[in-house]
Amino acid sequence: MSMKNNWKVRPPFHPEFDLERCDYKNGCTICVKECSFGEISLKPLKGKNGDILYRPWANMRACNSCQRCVKMCPPSAIHILSQPMHTSHGYWKTEPVSNIWRQAGSKGGVLLVGTGATGPQKRYFDHMMFDACQVTNPSIDPLREPMEIRRYLGRKAERYGGEVGSQLKLDVPIMFGAMSFGALNLRVQEAAARATRKMGTYWNTGEGGFHERLRNYGGNTIVQVASGRFGVSEDYMKSAAAVEIKIGQGAKPGIGGHLPGEKVSEAISKTRMIPEGSDALSPAPHHDIYSIEDLRQLIYAIKEATDYKLPVSVKISAVNNVAPIVSGIARAGADIIAIDGFRGGTGATPLQIRQNTGIPIELAISAADRRLTEEGIRNTVSLVASGGIQTSSDVLKAICLGADAVYLGTPVLISLGCNVCQRCFTGRCPYGITTNRPGLAERIDVDEATQALSNLLHAWGEEIKELMGSMGISAIEALRGNRDRLRGVGLNEQELSILGIKHAGA
245: amino acid identity, one letter: I
Query: Residues 60, 104, 164, 459: which binds other proteins (CB under 8 A)?
Result: 164
Q: Does residue 483 interact with other proteins by CB under 8 A?
A: yes
User: Nearer to other proteins by C-beta: 153 or 175?
Assistant: 153
Q: Which of 108, 146, 438, 505 binds other proteins (CB under 8 A)?
A: 146
Find the shortest distance in angstroms from Cβ 370 to other proteins: 9
Q: Is 140 in the site for other proteins (CB under 8 A)?
A: yes
Q: Rule CB under 8 A: say whether 232 interacts with other proteins.
A: no
Segment near other proteins (CB under 8 A), from 100-108, 154-162, 188-196, 271-279?
A: 154-162
**Closer to other proteins by Cβ: residue 133 or 452:** 133
Give 143's contacts (C-beta < 8 A, 6+ positions apart). none
What is the helix (H) or strand (E) element at residue 14, kind and residue range?
Answer: strand 13-17
| 303 part of the interface to other proteins, by CB under 8 A | no
One residue of 19, 60, 157, 489 binding other proteins per CB under 8 A: 157
Q: Which long-range contacts (CB under 8 A, 24 or more apart) does 151-156 make?
A: 151/382, 151/404, 151/405, 151/476, 151/477, 152/382, 153/311, 153/335, 153/336, 153/382, 153/384, 153/404, 153/405, 154/311, 154/335, 154/336, 154/382, 155/311, 155/335, 155/380, 155/381, 155/382, 156/379, 156/380
Give the β-pairing of 257-259 and 128-130: unpaired
- Check residue 161 for interaction with other proteins (CB under 8 A): yes
Q: How far is the CB of 229 from other proteins (least distance, A)?
A: 33
Residue 15 CA to residue 9 CA, distance in Å, equals: 17
Binds other proteins by CB under 8 A, chosen from 29, 59, 118, 373: 373
Name the packing angle between helices 361-374 and 322-331 (round to 10°). 50
CB of 399 to other proteins, least distance (A): 10
Nearest to 237 by CA among 317, 149, 307: 307
**Bridge partners, 156 (sequence order):** 164
Q: In this structure, are residues 452 and 415 in contact, taking their beta carbons and an 8 Å threshold?
A: yes
| Residue number with CB closer to other proteins (52 or 135) | 135
In angstroms, the CA 11 to CA 65 distance is 10
159 touches other proteins (CB under 8 A): yes
Contacting other proteins (CB under 8 A), which of 334, 363, 473, 499? 473
Q: Does 333 bind other proteins (CB under 8 A)?
A: no
- Which of 70, 97, 100, 133 contacts other proteins by CB under 8 A? 133
Nearer to other proteins, 178 or 334 (CB): 334
Pairing of strands 257-259, 13-17: unpaired
Query: Cβ of residue 167: shortest distance to other proteins, in angstroms?
Result: 7
As a whole number of Å, the end-to-end CA separation of the chain is 68
Draw the binding track, 374-413, toward other proteins (x: CB under 8 A; -: no contact): --x-xx--------------------x-------------
Q: By CB under 8 A, tell whether 497 contacts other proteins.
A: no
Q: Which stretch binds other proteins (CB under 8 A): 131-139, 358-366, 385-393, 439-447?
A: 131-139
Taking the CA atoms of residue 323, residue 389, residue 65 and residue 418 in that order, the dihedral angle to the nearest 10 degrees is -120
Residue 474 in the binding site for other proteins (CB under 8 A): yes
The one among 105, 260, 350, 472 contacting other proteins by CB under 8 A: 472
What's the CA gap between 435 and 49, in Å, rounded?
A: 43
Minimum CB–partner distance for residue 139 and other proteins (Å): 10
Closer CB to other proteins, 148 or 462, in the complex: 148
477 binds other proteins (CB under 8 A): yes
Return the percent helix, strand and coil in the chain, to nearest 5: 35, 20, 45
14, 68, 156, 197: residue in contact with other proteins (rule CB under 8 A):
156
Of 44, 162, 219, 324, which one interacts with other proteins (CB under 8 A)?
A: 162
336 binds other proteins (CB under 8 A): no
**Distance (Å, whole) CA 506 – CA 504:** 5
Query: Contact 436/426 with Cβ under 8 angstroms?
Result: no
Question: Is the Cβ of residue 140 or residue 178 nearer to other proteins in the bound state?
Answer: 140
Q: For the chain, what's the residue count?
A: 506
Query: Which of helix, strand or coil describes residue 168?
Result: strand
Q: Does 479 bind other proteins (CB under 8 A)?
A: yes
Q: How far is the CB of 237 from other proteins (least distance, A)?
A: 24
Please report how close the Cβ of residue 394 comes to other proteins at its closest, in angstroms.
18
- Using CB under 8 A, pick the residue from 150, 213, 287, 309 that binds other proteins: 150
Query: Under 8 Å CB-to-CB from 89, ≥6 apart: which residues?
Result: none
Q: What is d(CA 83, CA 99) in angstroms, rounded to the nearest whole number? A: 16
Pairwise CA distance, residues 439 & 39, whole Å = 17
Q: What is the C-alpha to C-alpha distance for residues 137 and 119, in angstroms, rounded to an integer?
A: 41
Q: In the bound complex, what is the minimum distance in angstroms from residue 159's beta carbon to other proteins?
A: 5
Q: Which of 485, 487, 488, 496 binds other proteins (CB under 8 A)?
A: 485
Q: For binding to other proteins (CB under 8 A), which residues are involved?
A: 133, 136-138, 140, 145-146, 148, 150, 152, 156-162, 164, 167, 373, 376, 378-379, 400, 471-475, 477-485
